[in-house]
Amino acid sequence: MQKSKKSININIKENNLSSQSPMATNPIDKSGLVAKINILGSGMNSVKAPFSTLHHTDKSLGVIDYAGFIKQITEIITEHNDLRESLNEFHNMFVNRLNCTYTALGLISEQSNTINVKLLDKNSSVYSFKVFMNDKNNEIIKALDSGEISILNNSAFLQVPSLTNAPCAIIPIKVQGRTICVTLVSDYNVQNHISLYQLAATNLGLLFQNSTLYEKVAQSSYTDSLTNLYTHRRFHELLSQEMEYAEANKTKVSVLIFDINNMGQINRDFGHSKGDEVIKVVAGKINENIKKQDIAARYGGDKISVILRNMNSEEAKYMAEYLTYSLSCCLVDDIGPVNKVSVGIATFPDDSRDKEKLLILAEQAVLVSKTKGYTNGRSIIVSTQDYDFWDDTALNSFAVVMAKRHSQLGINFEEALVEQFQNENILSQNHLIEVVTSLASAIDAKDEYTKDHSSSVSRYSVALARAINLPEKEVERIKLGSLLHDIGKIGIPEDVLRKPDKLTDEEFKIIQQHPTIGVQKILEPNPLLHDLIPIVKYHHEQWCGKGYPCGLKGEEIPLAARIVAIADTYHALISDRPYRKGMSVEKACSILEEGADVQWDKELVRQFIALAPSLATKI
């Protein structure tokens, strides 16, 4: 029940409320939520003060619209998720509808044993102060201890001169019998309006409860339960923010990924609980040794990731070395020192400005690190700037990462290779040949029946070109063109490419697009490859004019394309296919001979048959 109106005169003690002078500050914000709720669920407990009428007559305000008041409370609760915004809305409602002098909210901090109060007056001035829970003479503490609404005829206890004479009500807000916060409201008819204030305070308590629960859920979604680091999802959000910051400030941000090796064996030999212990130790040691501004997260499984603000690749490598050394000093029972971790580094914007590509490169670097093994008992730390992308190890690592990412991101391995190829800085003719060879091999490798097809066709084409005494420069052009002759198959669906049965007419039309796709997607964007366009585009034209894509015939077909067409057919004939075994050299040559002057240049077929036995027989 309500306390009777009374006059209060308080002698302020050194450590009571007055020792913390109210200071103008910012409005209450959500980050200040400090009350912890342990038992929730069955509604709000508060002093009941039922409405006696639907409308209340006030001498200064006239008729108060209770229905409108309740509607506005409902709108505030349902339309605002942010506690600060809701408090401001409640304050404005009290000021406008009830001519309120000030409102305040006090949040209980169990850690510091205080109540943190934010007060907003009708002129929008904001004050903040603390009330110590052991100050039993303070009016707020008295109200909390009693659990009842306290109505005072002045606010002198606040020690705010402009508010001294304002009557106020102190309303404790409870959940499950436990006081979680307190509201203060003031107007010169506060006793007549107390039922409205209590209604608003009850709903404010519900809002506070929901905000606290939301904060806990959000925190849980951001924190990995095993390592107490950020989750993979939160890592992505924070990396995006850091990249935006680095872009705006012309700085760099590096990503480290640590992959704990031998986790499968640890789980088999010692159980998954021991594996979890190793992951926790690694996560804890990394988090303990990074800078305060840096961010550690569980990247997934046995991987820990770190975002290093304002660090280039070399600085990130130094940090990685320090962290791996710290890990080598950690001992886990039955396991020993934690020194078997692979580390990969990628840096924004040097390696990529795209977040997903940056992470793909970091994962690729991790796999390269894993392949390279250990030096002095610790893994070799690898950044994306340490290796040649087209190196076999790096390329295979890239393929593994892309295969894993394909289902997650819809990124196509072949498309990613082409993009990397277009961005490659070609330094020499030998470099170009190496890159083209790697690109062609990677494309061929997706189908075990076309593995090494491009390199074999290139070898046969070069042999035929030299047999007819073409200049070496032209031989080199044919070598490159034949390597890329099927590169357009990157745009052909795999179910069509790998179909073991005869293709339908519609499927064959799709296959016929690959020469044009290769030209448009690979050759035309790269000026260094323009002279290869006739080879790639016309290698499926036929001497009789029934080939594709342009229906050229006879010598209208460029000589280099005619050479590659024969080599391409020959390798297809002697190679195994899902529907047949590879043919013998003799059988393949007889088929070429039958098609001479119809599908292929008769003189070139004759030259090729002569040298075929000296070539490797069957792949």
Bigger pLDDT: 578 vs 606? 606
Work out the widest C-alpha separation in the chain, in whole angstroms: 119
Q: Is 71 helix (H, G, I), strand (E, B) or coil?
A: helix
pLDDT at res. 80: 63
pLDDT at res. 13: 31
> Exposure of 559 by Cβ count < 10 A (0-12 exposed, 13-18 middle, 19+ buried)?
middle
Q: Pick left, alpha or beta for residue 354 (phi over 0 → left; psi -120 to 50 → alpha; otherwise beta).
A: beta
Enter the CATH code of domain 17-220: 3.30.450.40
> Which candidate, 22, 248, 272, 4, places its Cα nearest to that of 148?
4
Enter the CATH code of domain 223-410: 3.30.70.270
pLDDT at res. 44: 35
Sign of CA dihedral 20, 158, 142, 16: positive
Bigger pLDDT: 537 vs 330? 537
pLDDT at res. 508: 85
- CA gap 170, 189 in Å, rounded: 14
pLDDT bucket at 446, cuts 50 / 70 / 90: low
Distances in Å between the alpha carbon of 346 and those of 285, 343, 358, 366, 501?
A: 21, 10, 6, 10, 44
pLDDT at res. 55: 39
CB burial readout 438-447, b (16+ within 10 A) else e: bbbbbbbbbe
Q: Is 411 helix (H, G, I), strand (E, B) or coil?
A: coil
pLDDT at res. 141: 92
Pairing of strands 341-348, 381-383: parallel
pLDDT at res. 603: 94
pLDDT bucket at 2, cuts 50 / 70 / 90: very low
- CA gap 138, 617 in Å, rounded: 99
What is the mean pLDDT of the segment spanning 306-327? Answer: 91
pLDDT at res. 492: 76
23 has pLDDT over 50? no
The residues that bridge with 82 in the sheet, in sequence order, are: none
At 53, which amino acid appears?
A: T
**Domain range list for the chain:** 17-220, 223-410, 412-619
> Which candidate, 562, 561, 574, places its Cα nearest to that of 615?
574
243 has pLDDT over 70? yes
pLDDT bucket at 19, cuts 50 / 70 / 90: very low
pLDDT at res. 562: 96
pLDDT at res. 592: 92
Helices (H) and strands (E) in the chain, counts: 21, 19
> Which candidate, 22, 197, 46, places its Cα nearest to that of 117?
22
For residue 549, is the peptide bond before it cis, meaning its omega torsion is within 30 degrees of 0? yes
pTM: 0.47
- Structure-block tokens of residue 268: 């088999």
pLDDT at res. 544: 94
Enumerate residues 6+ apart whose C-beta is below 8 A from 372. 379, 380, 382, 393
65 and 55 Cβ atoms separated by less than 8 Å? yes
Distances in Å between the alpha carbon of 523 and those of 259, 370, 485, 551?
A: 38, 35, 11, 21
177 and 32 Cβ atoms separated by less than 8 Å? no
Distances in Å between the alpha carbon of 59 and those of 56, 64, 98, 147?
A: 10, 11, 11, 31
Task: Please provide the average confidence, as pLDDT, over all residues in the chain.
Answer: 79
> Exposure of 32 by Cβ count < 10 A (0-12 exposed, 13-18 middle, 19+ buried)?
middle
Bigger pLDDT: 381 vs 218? 381
283 and 298 Cβ atoms separated by less than 8 Å? yes
- Structure-block tokens of residue 294: 């840096």
Q: pLDDT by residue (tens digit) across 331-364? A: 788 777 776 888 999 999 998 888 888 998 898 8
**Which of 267-281, 440-454, 457-471 ranks highest by mean pLDDT?**
457-471
- CA gap 601, 540 in Å, rounded: 12
57 has pLDDT over 80? no
- Structure-block tokens of residue 225: 């339960």
> Which candidate, 460, 400, 37, 456, places its Cα nearest to that of 213?
37
Q: pLDDT by residue (tens digit) across 197-233? A: 888 887 777 777 666 655 555 555 678 888 889 888 8
Lowest-pLDDT range of 103-117, 143-157, 417-431, 561-575: 417-431
Rounded to the nearest 10 degrees, how much is the dihedral formed by the CA atoms of 198, 199, 200, 204? 90
Lowest-pLDDT range of 134-143, 171-180, 283-292, 518-527: 171-180
Percent of the chain with pLDDT over 70: 77
Q: pLDDT by residue (tens digit) across 67-87? A: 777 788 778 777 766 667 777
Q: pLDDT by residue (tens digit) across 476-521? A: 999 999 988 988 887 777 677 767 677 788 888 888 888 998 898 8
What is the mean pLDDT of the segment spanning 278-284? Answer: 89
37 has pLDDT over 70? no
Distances in Å between the alpha carbon of 397 and those of 354, 372, 383, 388?
A: 19, 12, 13, 12
pLDDT at res. 354: 87
The label of the residue with tokens 């330094």 reads: 427
383 and 255 Cβ atoms separated by less than 8 Å? no
Pairing of strands 168-175, 253-260: unpaired
> Which candidate, 566, 531, 519, 573, places its Cα nearest to that of 547?
566
Q: Does domain 412-619 have CATH number 1.10.3210.10?
A: yes
Question: Which helix or strand (DSSP H or E) is residue 325 part of?
Answer: helix 313-328
Phi, psi of 106 (to 5 degrees): -115, 120
177 and 98 Cβ atoms separated by less than 8 Å? no
